[in-house]
Amino acid sequence: MADQRRRLLTPQHTPQRTHVRRRADGATLVCVYLVALLIVPARLVLSFVPMTLPPALVVALLLGVLWLSAQMVDTLGMGKGRNLVRTAIGLYLAAHLATYAVATRRWLPTDELTVADSSIVRITATIALAVFICDAVRTRERLDKVLKLILACAAVIAFVGLVQFGLGVDLASYVSIPGLRAQENGYAVMETRSIFRRPTGTTNHPIEYGLICAMAVPLGAHYVFRARDEGTPHVRWLVCLGLCGLGAMTALSRTAILGMTVAGIIMVITLPRRQRITAAIVGGGFFLGAAVAVPGLFGTLRGMFSNIEDDPSVKARTADYAAASEQIDLNPLLGRGFGTFLPTKYTILDNQFLLTLIENGYLGMFALIGMFLAAAFAVVRVRMISKDEHLRGLAACALSAVLAGGIASITFDLLGFGVATGLVFTYIGLAGAMLRIAREESQTPQALTT
């Protein structure tokens, strides 16, 4: 018996640690969606369907079908039970369906009816994506993978935009994928503001590009600090942080600057004191370095806010408020129909809440605001109940992104830009997933002791 025990303990009988390949799960499918959304240029849509359908939207529709199927069984690992964020998202979907039903019951011009049909498909797919993320990302490890991919993809977008900004070369225009066709988005890439080109990266517009970069800045800072605390390489995260920060600045967009300001405030509130001081020093040095490396950039950014009362774009936005008020009074409860207030036919409204009042009425606007508030409350709740500093830091990043999306809804028509909309709803879904993960982790020790 002793000889047998010795043989079992010898090196040749010691079990070797092998790398077990993880099976694809909900987080894997979310990553597929993010690559289709952020890496594939937004101007590319399916060429074999008459509707304007980008590949990311197709993936979102499939994820919605998968979520509905998984809710019917208990063997696919989909989250079940109540979730505040999912409830808010469901109410937002109900408001859209009610608006669509009322709008299509009455007579609509053919062009508005066509856009209303495609718009309900688009918003339903995006909502389905958020619900899928809320229930399919079940562990902190998988949540971490999704957020790291968001940061990496945002860095790629920023790199493409910086090449456009600095060299005037649009790398996205060289991308060609079989089955996809290029669609004109009404905006000429690399139009100028002041003396600078305005980049778009792989998105459709500089505002959208700047918002995505700004939403990724808190993630970059979080992973830099975490890697340094763990003693692991942090240069890659520092590069991602630098690219996203510089991308947000070179977008020459008030929305991006406001988004970065929100991120800075959240970081000041949530970071430990030592990291807070480091972030302030690095952030200040970054702005000074960017101002030195790109002469005139700081002055242009300052002029966007110091001369805001004389800015033509601001005047154009406020001049439409009277006409918008008349449209709201026509259908105050449920609106005239999502997507039916065509900018080419009526006017451009760079305010998503105002546009929602016109198209979805007061019920739709309250549902939209409620969804943002529910997501914000969820991540704040995560920070209250979780004892894991990594999860608490990710919750702060999600809070920055959700608040940036809410502010962006005031400064431009968010739901008219597919990439920005997709990423904002991704963060809303992740807020619900974080709340579920935090609750399960907080209940685990109690379950083990009983």
Q: What is the mean pLDDT of residues 167-171?
A: 87
pLDDT at 211: 93
What per-residue confidence (pLDDT) applies to 85? Answer: 94
Q: Tell me, what's the pLDDT at 77?
A: 76
CA contacts within 13 A on the Cβ side of 81: 10
How many whole angstroms from its chain centre is CA 19? 32
Note the pLDDT of residue 345.
78
| Separation between Cα atoms, residue 443 and residue 117, nearest integer Å | 44
95 has pLDDT over 90: yes
| 346-400 pLDDT, tens digit each | 777 888 999 999 999 999 999 999 999 999 999 999 999 998 999 999 999 999 9
pTM over 0.75: yes
Average of per-residue pLDDT values in the chain: 83
CA distance 368 to 103: 19
Whole-angstrom CA distances from 19 to 13, 16, 22 are 18, 10, 9
Q: Give yes or no for residue 312 having a pLDDT over 60.
A: no
Which has the higher per-residue pLDDT, 283 or 177? Answer: 177
Separation of alpha carbons 262 and 396, rounded Å:
11
Q: Say yes or no to pLDDT of 229 above 90.
A: no
Q: Which residues contact 96 (CB under 8 A, 6 or more apart)?
A: 120, 123, 124, 127, 338, 360, 364
pLDDT at position 185 is 64
Confidence of residue 13 (pLDDT cuts 50, 70, 90): very low
Q: What is the pLDDT of residue 15?
A: 42
pLDDT higher for 193 or 204?
Answer: 204
Of 3-12, 16-25, 268-277, 429-438, the range with the highest mean pLDDT is 429-438
What is the model's pLDDT at position 129? 95
- 34/199: higher pLDDT: 34
Of 364, 389, 363, 386, the C-alpha closest to 433 is 386
For 233, how many CA atoms within 13 A lie in the half-sphere containing its CB? 3
Residues 39-64: tens digit of each pLDDT: 999 889 988 887 788 999 999 999 99
Question: b/e string for 349-383 if b means 16 or more Cβ within 10 A?
Answer: bbbbbbbbbbbbbbbbbebbbbbbebbbbbbebbb
Predicted local distance difference test score (pLDDT) of residue 22: 64
CB 437 within 8 A of CB 380: no
Of the two residues 1 and 174, the one the predictor is more confident about is 174
Q: What angle do CA 35, 41, 47 make, to 5 degrees?
A: 100
| Residue 12 pLDDT | 46
**pLDDT score recorded for residue 9:** 45
Is the model's pLDDT at 20 over the cut of 60? Answer: no
Query: Which of the pair, 270 or 152, is modelled with greater confidence?
Result: 152
* Better-predicted residue by pLDDT, 97 or 339: 97
State the pLDDT at residue 375: 95
Q: Please tell me the predicted confidence (pLDDT) of residue 448.
A: 40
Give the pLDDT band (50/70/90) at residue 310: low
One-letter-per-residue 3-state SS of the chain: CHHHHHHHHCHHHCCCCCCCCCCCCHHHHHHHHHHHHHCCCCCEEECCCCCCCCHHHHHHHHHHHHHHHHCCCCCCCCCCCCCHHHHHHHHHHHHHHHHHHHHHHCCCCHHHHHHHHHHHHHHHHHHHHHHHHHHHCCCHHHHHHHHHHHHHHHHHHHHHHHHHHHHCCCHHHHCCCCCEEECCCCCCCCCEECCEECCCCCCCCHHHHHHHHHHHHHHHHHHHHHHHHHCCCCHHHHHHHHHHHHHHHHCCCHHHHHHHHHHHHHHHHHCCHHHHHHHHHHHHHHHHHHHHHCCCHHHHHHHHHHCHHHCHHHHHHHHCHHHHHHHHHHCCCCCCCCCCCCCCCCCCCCCHHHHHHHHHHHHHHHHHHHHHHHHHHHHHHHHHHCCCHHHHHHHHHHHHHHHHHHHHHHHCCHHHCHHHHHHHHHHHHHHHHHHHHHHHHHHHHHHHHC
